[in-house]
Amino acid sequence: MKCVERILWIVVRCKDGIRDSVMVVYKRKIAARWVPHFLSPEQKDTRKDICRELLSRYENEKETFLVRIIAIDETWIRDFEPELKSQNNIWKGITSPRAKKVRRQQTKVKQMMIFAYDKFGIIVTDRVPIGSSVTGDYYKTFLAKKLRPEIRKKRPGMLQNGVSILHDNARPHIGAPVVTLLEKYGWERLKHPPYSPDLNPPDFDLFPKLKEPLRGIRFPNLDILNEEVSRRIRELKKDGVLCGIKALPKRWQSCIDKQGDYIEGL
């Protein structure tokens, strides 16, 4: 009995120390977070400085700043896109085996599309002809022959009030033909830091919402794929579905708070 009492006394005296020791050594194994690029200190500073500048303009101009922004980007539309890891999550019992799925790869059947949208939704899309690529001249023609007429048609007064183009630093976007055209129209090109999809509305808003319902489905040909993509675009045009432009001030602030590092949940 004395032996048992002695053990209990030791446990009572030592439990706090044991708990503290366990808390010190306890670690949890988690998956690494994927990021688009390992940002250098200089690149983080650039991101932070640009976000400060844009946020300051928003604070001064309020909604009139956001309603002038048109975000533009290109993306590949494929006849098969693998499901995201989160889409494979299913409920299972404690003793049930883990479900299995065959990993399927992307195919070579694809088409490039250009999207332009603002705070109120998609303004225009463009299917780049198969075998063609988005060059500076092609992008210039898109701006002049497709985007500008659609702005005049769908956004009365916008051309008079001012247009601010937000696109990334891809070569076709920043080449001389496009720069000259923007100057001719008096359209502003907003600054955008390199390697920053988390600050580009099509990347964090439009494209995920367009593609996620299509993942895991194999389309037999491009015609059927394009029909489904057109249906998805109609869904995205409904009020309140796309909110990337509205989310920009919060994202600019988050980037500043993180000292230029990537925002969680790209």
pTM: 0.81
Higher pLDDT: 65 or 110? It is: 65
pLDDT of residue 234: 96
| Phi, psi dihedral angles at 127 (to 5 degrees) | -90, 115
Higher pLDDT: 131 or 17? It is: 131
pLDDT at 23 over 70: no
- Please give the mean pLDDT across all residues of the chain: 86
User: pLDDT digits over 88-105, tens only?
Assistant: 444 445 555 554 444 445
User: pLDDT digits over 1-22, tens only?
Assistant: 555 565 555 555 555 554 554 4
Higher pLDDT: 81 or 29? It is: 81
Architecture (CATH level 2) of domain 66-83+106-242? 2-Layer Sandwich (3.30)
User: pLDDT digits over 180-216, tens only?
Assistant: 999 999 999 999 999 999 999 999 999 999 999 999 8
For the chain, give every domain's residue range: 66-83+106-242
Give the Cα separation of 72 and 5 in Å (integer).
75
Token pair recorded at residue 133: 């690529």
| Phi, psi dihedral angles at 27 (to 5 degrees) | -135, 155
Contacts of 230-236 spanning 24+ positions with Cβ under 8 A: 233/122, 233/125, 236/121, 236/122, 236/206, 236/209, 236/210
Token pair recorded at residue 147: 């985007």
CB atoms < 10 A from the CB of 14, how many? 11
